[in-house]
Amino acid sequence: MINKREKTTQWLIYIVLVLVSLAFLLPFLSVLSTSLVSEKEWMRRGAFILFPEELDWTAYRMVLFDSTLIWGAYQVTLFRVLVGTALNLIVTAMLAYSLARRELPGKNIAVTFIFITMIFHGGLIPSYLLIKYIGLQNSLWVLVLPSLVSAWNTFIMRNFFMSIPIELEESAVIDGASPAKVLMKIIVPLSMPSFATIGLFYGVYHWNEWFQASIYLNDTHKYPVQVFMRNILLSGSLQDEQMDLTNELPPADTLKSAVIMVSTLPILLVYPFIQKYFVKGTLVGSVKG
């Protein structure tokens, strides 16, 4: 039986959790409400409106249907997320599996070199010159290839691989399996929580990253969604020569909020489907090794 004191403590915990959840949801609701405010209501009620009197979809219509740049930006972002994440997982898995082999010659030296890259970076100017000289400037592949592998994610996946019993691999080798076959047939199926976690890390990075595109891309039609959103947040307007601007324009903050919602909702909708793998993959990959 739960006594009165324990029951009171439980209710206090529930109240605190509800208040914390509301504190996290309030900024999201504020941005959502702002994106649906009309020009007249904005002028009459002021900047902060949590519950609009009438929903105005003008900003969403301008962003999704009147602008020709947003869909191209979405295509670039999808290319970056899908192709980039797939290549990231392939390269990271191969590198992590190699480093997880106890018999690998020079393994400690390789691990040390990879760890150094987490601390020191060549800098922006050498990186820009390298991208320019190898011909990746103003190419979509510049969004994928320079960030092909992450040292941190490699160590997480390596530790996950090292937690798999070595006897499984030895039995497969005795049956004639090659290292590549052992990786594809045994290691990968047993490591799906780790792949889901690392894939989420890479996917969120590709979705949110904008700096590389703003530095290395000159063609506005090759900009991803985040650069498109950044330009609108800085200018407060849609700079698209093919738009019809004869209709009444929404407030600048309403347009900015609509762009934020359009660029944020897709990644929020994907997260619940892989959440069950997230904690397991992170914990197992971080405490083993």
Tell which residue, 84, 65, 2, has the closest CA to residue 262: 65
pLDDT for 287 equals 46
Average pLDDT, the chain: 80
Average pLDDT over residues 10-21: 89
Q: What values do phi and psi take at 52, rounded to 5?
A: -65, 145
pLDDT for 84 equals 92
How would residue 90 be classed by pLDDT, with cut points 50, 70 and 90?
A: very high
Contact (CB, 8 A) for 203 and 270: yes
Alpha carbons 46 and 221: distance in angstroms, whole number: 35
Question: For the segment 191-208, what is each residue's pLDDT rounded down to a tens digit?
Answer: 887 888 888 889 888 988
**Residue carrying the six token digits 């997260």:** 271
Domain extents in the chain: 67-287
**Residue carrying the six token digits 């490699």:** 154
Q: Tell me the torsion sign for CA atoms 218, 221, 226, 229.
A: positive
Residue 289, pLDDT above cutoff 60: no
Tell me the CATH number of domain 67-287, given options 1.10.3720.10, 1.10.260.40, 2.60.40.350, 3.40.50.10190: 1.10.3720.10
